[in-house]
């Protein structure tokens, strides 16, 4: 299968790297925001969307889980990308010259130790690849970008320091989204099911709703909460479980969940990535 795959950021972003590694036959389509990436898939400009959802160092990517339920798209796969952060400067610049390192707010905490040890100030920008492009265009030997080796190649920058992330297993998880669901069983590491729900306004509703997964031996790997419509009293939960909706134990757990909720929406069924278990 070929086509276009949308990602947030400019060419050379880690989303671009994820597209190249996970869907090498697809043409990457850069988008200014996650909203734009989702919309490009929805209107047919792209066939797939590569959406970053969490990082092993930083945590979840802000606002993404609240975008997924209303996206009209379906999760069909997950991708774990090893994030190597590099300090990129203009050709001829040296590490001891660098005063500022520009990068996305998500990436700055991932290499905080390196920046502090080298007396470099972290400066937020909207995208790591954009930072690389602007450093290349600016020609200032005291400014650098925090970005991928792919960005260095694209924008003609030198790698002044390689793999400067604080944790040697620094990884970002992406979800691949499509207009149509894929409920087929695939992959060699089992299936995952993602959904959102809102519990009824009764005492201990969440506790009771979760009981069905425990009694049916289902591992819930993720449970995130966020407000709906700006109201403190309206809380929605995003959940991921191991299993397929056709599995009998999943069916029983979902039936029990339905009793204690007033809204459930399936967001996707996808194969567990092998790196999930590493």
For the annotated catalytic residues, the residue numbers are 172, 174
**C-alpha dihedral, 198 to 203 to 206 to 207, nearest 10°:** -170
Instruction: Confirm if 254 and 245 have CB atoms less than 8 A apart.
Output: yes
Distance separating alpha carbons of residues 107 and 83, to the nearest angstrom: 10
Give CA angle at 102 (96, 106), nearest 5°: 125
Task: Indicate left, alpha or beta for 153 from its phi (over 0: left) and psi (-120 to 50: alpha).
Answer: alpha
Select from 10, 37, 16, 232 the least CA-distant residue to 137: 10
Select from 98, 107, 162 the least CA-distant residue to 129: 107
Task: Indicate left, alpha or beta for 139 from its phi (over 0: left) and psi (-120 to 50: alpha).
Answer: left
Using the Cα atoms of residue 161, residue 165, residue 167 and residue 172 in order, give the sign of their dihedral.
negative
Using only the alpha carbons of the chain, give its radius of gyration.
21
Instruction: Confirm if 276 and 270 have CB atoms less than 8 A apart.
Output: no
Distance separating alpha carbons of residues 22 and 24, to the nearest angstrom: 6
Tokens of 258: 């339905």
Phi, psi for 166 (deg, rounded to 5): -65, -35
């Amino acid at each position: 299968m070929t086509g276009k795959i949308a990602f947030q950021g400019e060419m050379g972003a880690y989303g671009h790297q994820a597209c190249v590694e996970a869907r090498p036959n697809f043409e990457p389509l850069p988008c200014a925001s996650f909203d734009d990436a989702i919309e490009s898939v929805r209107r047919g400009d792209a066939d797939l969307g590569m959406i970053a959802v969490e990082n092993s160092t930083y945590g979840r990517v802000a606002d993404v889980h609240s975008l997924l339920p209303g996206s009209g798209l379906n999760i069909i796969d997950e991708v774990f990308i090893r994030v190597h952060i590099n300090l990129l400067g203009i050709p001829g610049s040296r590490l001891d010259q660098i005063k500022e390192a520009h990068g996305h707010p998500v990436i700055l905490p991932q290499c905080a130790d390196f920046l502090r040890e080298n007396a470099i100030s972290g400066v937020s920008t909207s995208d790591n690849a954009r930072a690389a492009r602007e450093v290349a265009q600016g020609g200032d030997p005291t400014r650098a970008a925090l970005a991928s080796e792919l960005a260095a190649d694209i924008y003609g920058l030198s790698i002044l320091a390689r793999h400067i992330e604080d944790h040697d297993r620094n990884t970002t998880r992406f979800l691949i989204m499509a207009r149509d669901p894929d409920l087929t069983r695939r992959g060699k590491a089992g299936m995952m099911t993602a959904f959102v729900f809102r519990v009824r306004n009764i005492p201990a509703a969440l506790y009771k709703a979760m009981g069905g997964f425990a009694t049916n031996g289902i591992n819930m790997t993720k449970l995130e909460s966020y407000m709906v419509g700006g109201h403190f009293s309206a809380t929605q939960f995003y959940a991921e479980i191991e299993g397929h909706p056709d599995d009998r134990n999943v069916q029983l757990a979902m039936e029990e969940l339905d009793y204690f909720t007033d809204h459930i929406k399936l967001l996707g069924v996808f194969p567990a990535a092998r790196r999930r278990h590493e």
